[in-house]
Structure 1
Amino acid sequence: MQSDHEGFTLIELMVTLAVAAILLTVGMPSMREFIERNRVSAYTNLLVGALQLAKSEAIKRGNLVILCKSNAAGNGCNPSGAWKDGWLLYADMNADKAYTPGTDTLIRRHEATSQLSITTGSKLACWIGFSPNGIPEGGGTGCAGRLVGNDTFSICASNPSATRHGRRVIINSTGRIRTEDATC
């Protein structure tokens, strides 16, 4: 005798759910890694864009243009802060290598990120600037200005469970900016 009922049996549904669970278990870690890699790459591109803008603005304005670590309010530099707290890009009109609202020209501000770790070499501990001829100058330990030579920004995901993929932004003594993969 044949039944007029059509549909799936309980066993067929359970097998389908088991296969779907296995596929999700395998796929989720790679999706998480994909998101982390994209977050690192996007932030790296923002930083490179800010550095290139600083260099071109310095040449265009004929003035030192500085990228510094932002304070919590986003209205000044914080030499003891962290690069992940955000940054300010400004034309240093009074040449004191410190952001002075009303005197210096704010070009761009970038907000903080808690999802990434950003470290630098000792020559870029406080700030990086570009002179009117495009040569980089950095505020290293003690925040005194000096020529950069070669130094780096390293950008990594903050999440310790994520794969430790990162990017490095390298600035050489002539002001050339390039990126490369890094292991964090």
Structure 2
Amino acid sequence: MNHGAETGVTLVELLVALSVLAILLTVGVPSLAGFVSSQKLDTTVQLLKDSYSQARYEAVTQQRPVFLCPLDTATGGCGKNWSDGVISYHDLDGDNSYDPLKDTQLLQNEFPSGAVIVYKKNCFQIKLTAKGTTGDNGTFTMTVSEETKKLVVSGMGRIRNG
């Protein structure tokens, strides 16, 4: 009987490999979680900034007001929670509220889950005039897992990191 070189892994080699894997996971998983929440926050900031800029662009190029409001994901209309997303629209019937049957929706963006967005208390709509101005200052505060960023909206209509 010819027994060639046996192949396989010894128990000691297996335990060493599992120990190294456990150490790598212990070090790597918290870093990965921080990276994921940071990316969610950056994505939320960029989506909100882009949505606002697009609404302002539409107001100026179309020469009529555009409204930006928080998205109500259940109805697809305007809601009271900026954390879900935003919707922009032309208010064709002039009642300062979104009616999908009468008004023209321009944009709808949903934000990543876990993002908390706060704008001024009881302010659930931003009106951008045909000149691209809002006439009022405000700050969006976005938080994901204790990390916070701000976007400042000026009365002149500009938006910037805060």
TM-score (norm 2): 0.87
SS in 2 for 1:84: coil
Match of 1:125 among 120, 123, 126: 123
Q: Does 1:85 align with 2:84?
A: yes
Which residue is equivalent to 1:155? 142
Conserved 8 A contact 1:74-1:109: no
Letter aligned with residue 131 of structure 1: T
Report the Cα distance in structure 2 between the residues aligned to 1:75 and 1:39, rounded to whole angstroms.
Answer: 22
Q: Deviations over 1:34-71 (max 9, x none)?
A: 01110111111111111000100000111110111233
Give the structure 2 partner of residue 61 of structure 1.
62
> Which amino acid in structure 1 is aligned with residue 139 of structure 2?
T
Is the Cα contact below 8 Å between 1:64 and 1:93 reproduced in 2?
no
Q: Which of the pair has the greater relative contact order for Cα pairs under 8 Å at 6+ separation? A: 2
Q: What's the secondary structure of 1:70's corresponding residue?
A: strand
Q: Secondary structure in 2 aligned to 1:93?
A: coil
SS of match in other structure, 1:129: strand
Aligned CA-pair RMSD: 2.1
Q: What is the rounded CA distance, in whole Å, between the counterparts of 1:112 and 1:74 in structure 2?
A: 16
The alignment status of 1:103 with 2:102, answered yes or no, reads yes
Query: 1:42 aligns to what?
Result: 43
Q: Give the fraction of aligned pairs with identical amino acids, expressed as a percent.
A: 31
1:110-141 CA distance string (max 9 Å, x none):
2365421111123x7211121011101xxxxx
Q: 8 Å contact 1:84–1:118 — kept in the other structure?
A: yes
